[in-house]
Amino acid sequence: MFDASSHPLEGAALHKGLPETGNDLLAEVSLPAAVIHEAFLAHNLAWMQRFANEHGARLAPHGKTTMAPALFHRQLAAGAWGITLATAPQCRAAFAHGVKRLLMANQLVGEANMAIVARLIDEGADFYCVVDSAANVRQLARYFGAREQRLQVLVELGVDGGRCGCRDQDEVLALGELVDSEPALVLAGLEGYEGVVYGEDPVRAVRDYAWHLVEAAQALDHDGLIEARAPLITASGSAWYDLVAEVFREARLAGHFVPVLRPGCYVVHDHGIYRAAQRDVMGRRPELDRGLHPALEVFAQVLSLPEPGLAVVGLGKRDIGHDQLPLLLRRYREGGMANRTLPVEGWRVEKLMDQHAFVHVPDDDFPETRNGEVRIGDIIAFGISHPCLTFDKWRRLCRVNERLEVLEVLETCF
């Protein structure tokens, strides 16, 4: 169990949400605190790795979700092929914590960022980035050629009106030819992202896009433009991973290409947009067992009961993602026990400010004659939506067991 008295992290006492006098989340941790439940975390790690394995794919979880090296290593230990990142500094942080294979699912632009990557390659990183323009290809070729380095790149295929990426197969092939002509660059395959694909029938639209990826990758290979011995074809966020994996398996790519899936939010899941997306996955694939569980919550305390029906809680936009308002899950007495919860039926967050949540509380929960009435100092566990936008508000998170004892303090590298 984590020993708060010998916490090794320099400056840890300057940040919120840490054990102060012991390991009991309900009594000895400064709240608000971001909390990861170990049982659900372990389940999610095993579940997604098993899903990838059963579909003949490799898993490169998107590390920008958590930027938590301890979680990167849990993912790698579970069988992940590598870690996906979004920026050169994120790649540097992951490599500094022992992650050797880095897939930057983004364009590498700017000489300062190229310098970061050049150092990583010098130090032994197995690094990949994406390209979608002739201008960027020439910039990379000039920079890495001058250093006598070779950079592995993936051509990106996008969609009209979407984010980055070539807009059709002809552009993919033209860019592949340019990469092939540059000695400093190694064409290592094709990359895409289906999360920006929309249509009246989104399932069909995502499947069609995944097949476009397959066809473009096969065209690059047919024209002899891919230099890598084990070329990659990679896509998949956290909402449509089942459709991408299904198409890659149907295309029987594993004999030559290495199919790589890149979901990130699965590791802790959520109580909002990804829980809804997972329900859709399970509806499409009822044979899948159990599914993912929300593992990340934020615990905070009631600060004020200024008027009937209103509780002001010490939780705000600086503590929790707010693309959807947080969901009230459970309530505890300060100093209470994990298995003794109080009701929150009818409670709801109505507004968030920087450090405060306005919570509607039914009038029946106010009278002091009731054992379950709300009190100053009560602790509330909140469910989050979109874990990326909660993790980046924390430099330390508490991993806890079923007794709400802190097992570990996880550091992030934002």
- Report pLDDT digits (tens) over 77-122: 999 999 999 999 999 999 999 999 999 999 999 999 999 999 999 9
Angle of helix 88-96 versus helix 69-78 axis, rounded to 10: 70
> What DSSP letter does each residue of 185-206 carry, written as one string?
EEEEEEEE-GGG---SSHHHHH
Nearest Cα residue to 15 out of 27, 31, 36: 31
Q: What is the pLDDT of residues 124-167, one digit of tens each?
A: 999 999 999 999 999 999 999 999 999 999 999 999 999 999 99
> For position 7, what pLDDT does the model report?
53
| Segments of 314-378 assigned E as strands | 327-332, 348-352, 357-360
Query: Percentages helix, strand, coil for the chain, rounded to the nearest 5?
Result: 35, 25, 45
Please report, to the nearest 10 degrees, the dihedral formed by the alpha carbons of residues 202, 205, 206, 208 taken in order.
Answer: 160
Residues of the chain with pLDDT under 50: 4, 8
CA dihedral for 321, 323, 328, 330, sign (positive or negative): negative
Q: Please state, in angstroms and rounded to a whole number, the distance separating the CA atoms of residues 12 and 296.
A: 20
Nearest to 63 by CA among 52, 55, 74, 54: 74
pLDDT recorded at residue 13: 66
Q: Cα(400)–Cα(38) distance, rounded to whole angstroms?
A: 6
Residue type, 375: R
Q: Going by C-beta distance under 8 Å and a sequence separation of 6 or more, which residues neighbour residue 187?
A: 153, 154, 155, 176, 179, 180, 220, 225, 226, 227, 228, 231
Amino acid at 290: R
Q: Which residue has the tokens 């590498």?
A: 108
* pTM: predicted TM-score of the whole model, two decimal places: 0.95
Which pLDDT score, from 0 to 100, does residue 310 have?
95
Provide the 3-class DSSP secondary structure of residue 66.
coil
Distance CA 34, CA 67 (A): 14
* CA 328/CA 346 separation, integer angstroms: 9
Q: Pairing state of beta strands 396-400 and 310-313?
A: unpaired
Token pair in block for residue 259: 């199919």
B/e letters for 196-234, b = 16+ CB within 10 Å, e = fewer, are: ebeeeeeeebbbbbbebbbebbbbbbeeebbebeebbbb
pLDDT value for 289: 82
Largest CA distance in the chain: 80
Strands 83-85 and 348-352 turn out to be unpaired
d(C-alpha 111, C-alpha 88), whole Å? 11
In 147-299, which residue ranges form alpha helices assigned H by DSSP? 169-180, 202-222, 241-250, 273-284
Give CA–CA dist 382/225, Å, rounded: 51
Structural domains of the chain, ranges and CATH numbers in brackets: 4-37+292-411 (2.40.37.20), 61-263 (3.20.20.10)
